Amino acid sequence: MSEDQSAEVSWTPPRWLIPWITRLQVAIYELSRGRLLSNASGMPHIVIRGIRRKSGTTFAVCLPYWRDDDGHRIVVASFAGAPRNPAWYHNLKDRRANPTARVRDCERVFDVRVEVVDDGERDAIWKRLVADRPFYARYQEQTERRIPLLRLVEEGS
């Protein structure tokens, strides 16, 4: 991508607060059809809806994204450097529960195929991503797990 995707986060909320903030973000984003919170901290955001793999109920999460060279959205399962991956990551990577997920990007709603970015490709994308968004490197330093990246491929592309 040739457009500038750089952003810096000056404050990270405590991890216990992140799920509450996310619920509020989703509600505001959806009620405003993306007119509010579609760009926060200098990053574009989307709402992703999927199915929980264990209960079968739906969930929604509002996340920033970064675009790869092919224009696909990449979301980062950082959970602010927590020791475990966020629940939404486990749900979205489960292809039985979520062969596709639904995305709202402002007023546009579409289905995506979720792909876990594999190790070799992940390293190259990670390097470019953290050059644009260095706070992700700080999150990686805070945890022993390797922070996963998910690619969202629009259905039909």
pLDDT of residue 11: 82
CATH number of the domain at 48, please. 2.30.110.10
Instruction: Provide the number of structural domains found in the chain.
Output: 1
In-domain check, residue 9: no
In-domain check, residue 78: yes
In-domain check, residue 73: yes
C-alpha to C-alpha distance for 123 and 6, rounded to whole angstroms: 18
In-domain check, residue 36: yes
Residue numbers of the chain with a pLDDT score lower than 50:
none
Q: What domain range is 96 assigned to?
A: 15-154
The answer for residues whose C-beta is within 8 angstroms of residue 26's C-beta and 6 or more apart is 47, 60, 61, 62
In-domain check, residue 4: no
In-domain check, residue 25: yes
Residue 52, CA distances (Å) to 61, 90, 95 in order: 12, 9, 11
Please tell me the pTM assigned to this model: 0.93
pLDDT of residue 60: 97
Contact (CB, 8 A) for 117 and 149: yes
